[in-house]
Amino acid sequence: MKRPIASIVGTGRGLPEAVMTNFDFAKIGIETTDEWITERTGIKQRHIARNGESTTSMAAAAARQAMQRAGVSAGEIDAIVLSTATPDRLLPATAVDLQAQLGATRAAAFDIGAACAGFIFAVTIAEGMIATGTAETVLVVGSEKMSSIIDWQDRATCVLFGDGAGAAVLRRAKHQRGILSAYMRSDGTLANLLYRPSGGACQPFCEDVLTDRSHFVKMAGREVFKHAVRSMADACDRALDGAKLTGKDIDLLIPHQANLRIIEATAKHASVSMDKVYVNVDRYGNTSSASVAIALDEALENGRIREGMNVLVVAFGAGFTWASMVLRF
Ligand code: COA
């Protein structure tokens, strides 16, 4: 086994200031209750971007913190891989706006779209660039302003999501620490279970689109739930097999933070007890591709991850896409 090739040397996060609790939905006329949301999802509150906060500004806050912790200056970054489902503009990529804000003048910067699994996809791409010698230092970011694409009249989806960003700096691995295994999969035949029908090139914006609200996220909740449980379980198995480890060897499981029940099912399948599972969905809701990155950053900051620990990360999202990774810190 050639791995580990690359490792995470610094992380950061950027959250909007404003917090919206489950009780705040009543103020905007949404018929829901704290009890319904908590029971079904585990979410109590989410951060919402306001007053000019954007996908780029949250990404920049996360990136600056990650670079500072990694001891890396903007001029040392060879590539920026930014995962988002909510680019600030459709052209050019949000990654180049981030590059400009950071002053990372030497970097190649581009976006990737793999929805909630995007951060793990992006880290895997960064690992590949380091492996081939294309880059030495890569900044990976997951940043999402989900509040801009959810339908605030649809109570079945608007209560689930939140805004935020997480970032990581990757460099060549040292001392057998770093990415031990990685796994990525997609199934485009199921795309219509979680998607935005309009607003892209196929069905561009027009009055009809705005009237029927088809530029907002549509989701078949129950179907998505079933696929998420199945795919996250499979992804855990694949990453553990790739690292030649079992759930018993895992010190911390960081699953995508979409729903507490999906998290519990994933942990059970992977044979990881809940005291070894990182959960912050109660505070942030589903921040799509930022979710794993934010959780990773918090876990490093608060000492849940310490040197020598094996960490399993796993995510699932629109596409469908799903991915996993075992990292040794
Ligand atoms: N508050 C109160 N009631 C709500 C509600 C809300 N926010 N949203 C939906 N309901 C109602 C529905 O209208 C429905 O009422 P009805 O039976 O009178 O028609 C009832 O609750 C059940 O709806 P349903 O969609 O079947 O609920 P559910 O038990 O499947 O839970 C989700 C809905 C969305 C919480 C659940 O399907 C889920 O978590 N899915 C996965 C979503 C996800 O994580 N997506 C992102 C993956 S990356």
Domain 179-328: top CATH class: alpha beta
β-strands 19-21, 45-47 pairing: antiparallel
CB 218 within 8 A of CB 195: yes
Angle at Cα 290 formed by Cα 285 and Cα 227, nearest 5°?
70
Question: Does ligand 1 lie within 6 Å of residue 155's CB atom?
Answer: yes
| pTM of the predicted protein model | 0.97
What does the alpha-carbon distance between residue 195 and residue 237 come to, in Å, rounded to a whole number?
27
- Which of 224, 289, 291 for a ligand 1 pocket mutation test, highest count of atoms within 8 Å of Cβ? 224
Q: What pLDDT is stored for residue 267 in this prediction?
A: 97
Question: Does ligand 1 lie within 6 Å of residue 224's CB atom?
Answer: yes
Question: Does ligand 1 lie within 6 Å of residue 116's CB atom?
Answer: yes
At position 106, the amino acid (one-letter code) is: R
Q: Which residues contact 212 (CB under 8 A, 6 or more apart)?
A: none
Question: Does ligand 1 lie within 6 Å of residue 156's CB atom?
Answer: yes
Assigned superfamily of 6-176: Thiolase/Chalcone synthase (3.40.47.10)
Query: 14 CA to middle of ligand 1, Å?
Result: 29
Question: Does ligand 1 lie within 6 Å of residue 40's CB atom?
Answer: yes
> What's the farthest any 2 CA atoms get from each other in the chain?
58
Angle, nearest 10°, between helix axes 260-269 and 34-41? 20
CB 167 within 8 A of CB 95: no
Residue 153 Cα to chain centre, angstroms = 25
Query: 33 CA to middle of ligand 1, Å?
Result: 12
Q: Which of 22, 47, 259, 286 is catalytic?
A: 286
Q: Which residue has the tokens 């399993």?
A: 312
Q: What pLDDT is stored for residue 92 in this prediction?
A: 98
Q: Which residues contact 136 (CB under 8 A, 6 or more apart)?
A: 76, 78, 130, 171, 172
What does each of the 329 residues of the chain score in pLDDT, given as a tens digit?
A: 568 999 999 999 999 999 999 999 999 999 999 999 999 999 999 999 998 999 999 999 999 999 999 999 999 999 999 999 999 999 999 999 999 999 999 999 999 999 999 999 999 999 999 999 999 999 999 999 999 999 999 999 999 999 999 999 999 998 889 999 999 999 999 999 999 999 999 999 999 999 999 999 999 999 999 999 999 999 999 999 999 999 999 999 999 999 999 999 999 999 999 999 999 999 999 999 999 999 999 999 999 999 999 999 999 999 999 999 999 99
The answer to whether domain 6-176 and domain 179-328 are alike in fold is: yes
Q: What is the DSSP string of 226-251?
A: HHHHHHHHHHHHHHHHHHT--GGG-S
Host H or E run for residue 65:
helix 55-70
Q: Whose CA is nearest to atom 35 of ligand 1?
A: 40
User: What ranges do the domains of the chain cover?
Assistant: 6-176, 179-328
Q: What is the DSSP string of 242-291?
A: HHT--GGG-SEEEE-SS-HHHHHHHHHHTT--GGGB---HHHH-B-GGGH
Q: What is the DSSP string of 126-193?
A: HHHHHHHTS-SSEEEEEEEEGGGTS-TT-HHHHTTB-EEEEEEEEEE--TT-EEEEEEEEE-GGGGGG
Q: Which of 47, 158, 236, 256 is catalytic?
A: 256
Question: Does ligand 1 lie within 6 Å of residue 221's CB atom?
Answer: yes
In ligand 1, the atom with minimum distance to the C-alpha of 315 is 48
Q: Which of 282, 297, 306, 294 is nearest to 159 (CA)?
A: 282
Q: Active-site residue 286, yes or no?
A: yes
Q: Which residues contact 283 (CB under 8 A, 6 or more apart)?
A: 44, 45, 46
Q: Whose CA is nearest to atom 22 of ligand 1?
A: 156
Q: What pLDDT is stored for residue 308 in this prediction?
A: 95
Angle, nearest 10°, between helix axes 55-70 and 291-301? 30
For residue 141, list its beta bridge partners. 82, 167
Q: Which of 187, 167, 171 is nearest to 179 (CA)?
A: 171
Q: Which residues contact 39 (CB under 8 A, 6 or more apart)?
A: none
Question: Does ligand 1 lie within 6 Å of residue 218's CB atom?
Answer: no
Please count the other Cβ atoms lying within 10 Å of the Cβ belonging to residue 100.
13
Q: Which residues contact 165 (CB under 8 A, 6 or more apart)?
A: 13, 14, 15, 55, 58, 59, 61, 62, 141, 142, 143, 144, 290, 293, 294
